[in-house]
Chains A and B, each alone.
Chain A
Amino acid sequence: NAGVTQTPKFRVLKTGQSMTLLCAQDMNHEYMYWYRQDPGMGLRLIHYSVGEGTTAKGEVPDGYNVSRLKKQNFLLGLESAAPSQTSVYFCASSYLRIGGYTFGSGTRLTVV
């Protein structure tokens, strides 16, 4: 079972460039989430989705956009990358609204 797959695993961007992080899950989960992890800050929720075609803002949504056109995919976009967006990004999915998440392996993004 693949579970939750994130691509790419590593990326270096220049300030102002754009990119899309892809999260794919094969567990038919309704709920999907994007978190960022920064040293000393734990994981903070960027955006989440409670089903296909829906998205909502989390704790730190500024500078990011998301889309959930297909149930299995949750895309995180950076329109104009900034050094402050250097982070490790984790995607997660869950079957129940309240329950343990299945996390992807993370994407390490560096913006220079």
Chain B
Amino acid sequence: AQKVTQAQTEISVVEKEDVTLDCVYETRDTTYYLFWYKQPPSGELVFLIRRNSFDEQNEISGRYSWNFQKSTSSFNFTITASQVVDSAVYFCALSEASNYGGSQGNLIFGKGTKLSVKP
């Protein structure tokens, strides 16, 4: 069955530090998608990135970067030079392309990592 594990429940850093949020997933599908969402204190869910299982290139967007490694079933998220505005809960999620158990396409979320960036 599909599963997403975010082992870090809470992380606290000081502004300008780099921080990596870990995400490990389980799936028996060969075609799947991985996502990261941000939930700031205001509560809304903000889409950050989607990556399909055939694209293992790392991606960088400003201070954000993502490292996808199929060999270790990991999709880690790094924030460089963190800022107070990065304080939020971050969710990693998985969506399978196949219809095992009728769950095709449904987003399965990890439990989230709460990041606190202190000035």
**Chain B's interface: helix, strand, loop or mixed, by majority?**
loop
**Chain A's interface: helix, strand, loop or mixed, by majority?**
strand
Partner of B105, one of A42, A44, A97, A102: A97
Q: Can you list 18 A-B pairs with a CB-CB distance of less than 8 A?
A: A31-B105, A40-B9, A41-B111, A42-B109, A42-B112, A45-B106, A45-B108, A48-B106, A88-B43, A92-B107, A94-B105, A96-B105, A97-B104, A98-B105, A99-B33, A101-B107, A103-B44, A105-B43
CA distance A23 to B110 in the complex (A): 24
Q: Are A42 and B111 in contact (CB under 8 A)?
A: yes
CA distance A41 to B108 in the complex (A): 12
Q: 1/0 per position for A92-112, CB-CB distance to B under 8 A? A: 101011111111011000000
Q: Are B105 and A100 in contact (CB under 8 A)?
A: no
Partner of A43, one of B6, B97, B109: B109
> Which residues does chain B contribute within 8 Å of A41, judged by CB atoms?
111
Say if the beta carbon of A56 comes within 8 Å of chain B.
yes
Say if the beta carbon of A74 comes within 8 Å of chain B.
no
